[in-house]
Structure 1
Amino acid sequence: MIPTNEMPEAARGHVADAARGNWVDRLAPPATRPWLRLSRADRPIGTWLLWIPCLWAVVLAANEGGGFAWSDLWLVISSGIGAFLMRGAGCTWNDITDRNIDGAVARTRSRPIPSGQVTVKGALLWMAAQALISALILLSYNWLSVWLGVASLALVAIYPFAKRFTWWPQVFLGLAFNWGAILLWAAHSGEVPLAAVILWLSGICWTLYYDTIYAHQDKEDDALIGVKSTARLFGDNSPRWLLGFLILTILLMMAAIILTIPASRGPAPLLTALVGVWLFALHMGLQMRRMDLDDPAVCLRIFRSNRDAGLIAVPFLAVAALL
């Protein structure tokens, strides 16, 4: 018998890039674990990165239109649930389309489909179930938001194929992952102003930053199997590109704030909001100092730290709306 600590990841049921001792491995009923792993519930960072632009939009839109309403509490809660479900549906779709690629990459071959824990038919049904529940949440918003949510499905559908035809698949991820900035702004105010679009663009630059770091984990395997990514495209010049994405993220977010918070409210709300963005920039700058793009463990740790980076701005934007 093979000792447990020497068994392949798939044989033990773990996914290689999931944190040890995660709640799925410890607490979820065994029968549910392959399905939760398929949705990346054992790796919640993706849910956070999908939800954070929604939070940005709700709190920044509140600065534009007279502060918070009780309905904003529902927007915050429901967008978090929706982020979990739609991220799960998107990851399930990604794993269906990438099942052959995942089986050839060391970090991903232990995922439920390539390891044989879940069939493709079962994964399709699971994806549909998650999308259906998400649709019910979306229907609680205004009609503009509903149509924006429907439009986002095209971005979700295209993303898994992007790495086959472009060196910039992270752009497609950014388009989809930050769509919540536009959708939740529309849900709050019933319109999509220029500031919401700029906030979306800021989020796209942020995604290019953190997902390029993430892609450096797989650059050697990706080169062997012909998968494209910004990590492979930039190569040794990645730090310069990452710095550029960092700067664009911050400048665009500052522009969205300046367009949203009127001067007639005085300097305090604007300065409070901008302090949050500057601290966000500081966190990303510290990430750059600790960067080692040739060490997969460091790449994964810095990638995950972007949850904290993105959340930094939220309370400052919220306080600005209350001033």
Structure 2
Amino acid sequence: MNDPAALPIVDISDLAGSSVADRLAVAHALDDACRRSGFLYIRGAQLDWRLADRLLATAKRYFAQGMAAKMAHYIGGSSNHSGYVPAGEEEFGGGTRDLKEAYDVNNDYPHAEGRRPLLGPNLWPDLPGFRDDVLAYYRHLDAIGRQLFGAFACALGLAEDHFAPHLRHPPNQLRLIHYPLAPAAEDRPGIGAHTDYECFTLLFATSGGLQVMDRSGEWRDVPPVDGTMVMNIGDMMELMSNGRWLATTHRVKKVAEERYSFPLFFTCDYDHVVAPLVPPHGARRYAPIRCGEHLFHQTAQTFAYLKQRQARGEVTLAQPLPLGSFGVQA
């Protein structure tokens, strides 16, 4: 599976077309790929790589700034979990802090009514072109994500528009991540082992380092493939499919070269409750969860500033699921 050909590659071009039969064919291909592996590559005529190139150039300019300029928009000062994430801010299982920095952007929801912990105004840095380039990429992939939600609905035997009423203001998150080349003596992972909390993720990355845990519990490389993005299944889609598709545990190992990656995490509306949609023989393997609540609770278990807010009593979590509750269990 270290050969990229070992992961499925699905062409999603026909999801933008008018033929129902062609869209169903893509849905069946996605279903087959997701049943075999929670990770796959997608390609499609609707993917605009010029926007990805703009985003990469903007990210390089942003992360090249001094620490003082970046910390001026520290995520801990936001009301929407948006902003700069310094190296060491996140900690996954095992107590090892990640060797990466990031800038997190959420659904830039301007209204006070209906605001939630991950839904509200973003922090934006004072860097010319940053907001425009980031939002252009975010909105482009958001439209493709809605096509994919339709395909997933069909793959589960539901109406193609099943998810549409639950995608009004989803707390989708785009992360601009920079993995610096670590000193030779420093053996820290770029990002620790985890599953994604949302429904699915689309990832554009500049180089290797990503690894996925296969069904036997072995780590396998997921190198970039020209003209494709990586897609993976998250916690909520595992739950909704009742385990038909598994959220896949993944990590970024110590990088061999400077690396940039841009995952966009797709979920349903914050207050939408998800439950298994296709229970085999009437047996449901998972309890229902509220989308945004699960996302926030998992996030609050990894970010230092949110742990500090919990310690001060400013944030209370109502029985969050332990990290690592989904996906392949090694």
- Shorter-chain TM-score: what band? under 0.3
Q: Which has the higher strand share?
A: 2
Q: Which has the higher helix share?
A: 1
- TM-score if structure 2 supplies the norm length? 0.27
